[in-house]
Structure 1
Amino acid sequence: MASTQKEQKEKAALTEMVKEEIATAPQAETPPKKRKFLLFIAILVGLIVVTLLVNSLLGGGVSFWGRGAGAYQAVFLNNGQIYFGKLSSLTSPFITLKDVYYLQVEQTLQPVKQGEEAPPQQNILLVQLGKGEIHKPKGEMRVNRDQILFIEDLQADSPILNGIKQLKESANQPPAPAQ
């Protein structure tokens, strides 16, 4: 028994010595540059997570990035149609296009003299959805994303945007008085 107590005392003393060595041993510190880098990465990841969370709460998707508020896009469909408008609801199977316009081609045939071929004259019109159709749809549409080839942002000096601006200005003007 005496040897067991002696062994226990030696183990306790040895344990105390090891604890003391660990407590007084120089700790391996992270270099300041590495700490700053890790802090930068943590902040960056946090900002990305917050941005994605806010974006999803607003009904957007990653596809919203790069667009200014109220920007118009050209949406090219598989069937050759092109629609211009403001995109929303990009996270669902159907995107929503608001304030929609499209191009309509009118062909006028000129009377032709005998033996001559007259090329058909084309007049391209910008039409607001709901203004030129007999069924009077609302000014927005939902498009199956599988039918979309690609989407492009329109530049501020786009002829389409100029046409939209002109259409809106003419719609806001009061009718001319009858004479």
Structure 2
Amino acid sequence: MSIKRLNKEYCCSPSAKQYAHVLYELGISKEAVGETEKLFKEVPVLEETFASPVVPMREKLSSIDKIFPEEIKNFLKVVCRNQRMSEISQILFAYDRYCKMQEGIQMATLTCVEAPDEKRLEKIREFLCEKYHKTDVKIEIVKDPALLGGFILKTGDDEYDWSLKGRLSRLEQKLTWR
């Protein structure tokens, strides 16, 4: 097993994380944030339009007033004025993770060839709860046959590589290093 720091691209840009923290601190309801996220997912052209330098700012701000829940309009206008709407998906993703972190829930991504059974998942949850001093863990499972076997566990800025592909890669590095 190896542990390494992940690239910043893994989750979100530093500015997206900052906006997510501000969004959390503003105390905007999760329902309003969820509705906003749903709108951006259902109508992908929204993000492109708000991020476009061709669309006049007054039209963007007017559209925000017409489309989004009242609670979140001012936040979105600030993001828009600061020309960060191209990061809105990252901001909303980081917000969700930050909320879960504040609730004592550790987020993790398990990349594997085949989904593990419940017993193995429970052991992974126990490991993460103990390691990160959390009460619960939410694990997203991603299938990747290129791993050949084993799995990669990513949480926060840490990556635990127990995959066969990772082991072979480390073995190759050791054998070719002089």
TM (norm. structure 1) is 0.21
Higher helix share: 2
Higher Cα radius of gyration: 1
Higher relative contact order structure (alpha carbons within 8 Å, sequence separation ≥ 6): 2
Higher strand share: 1
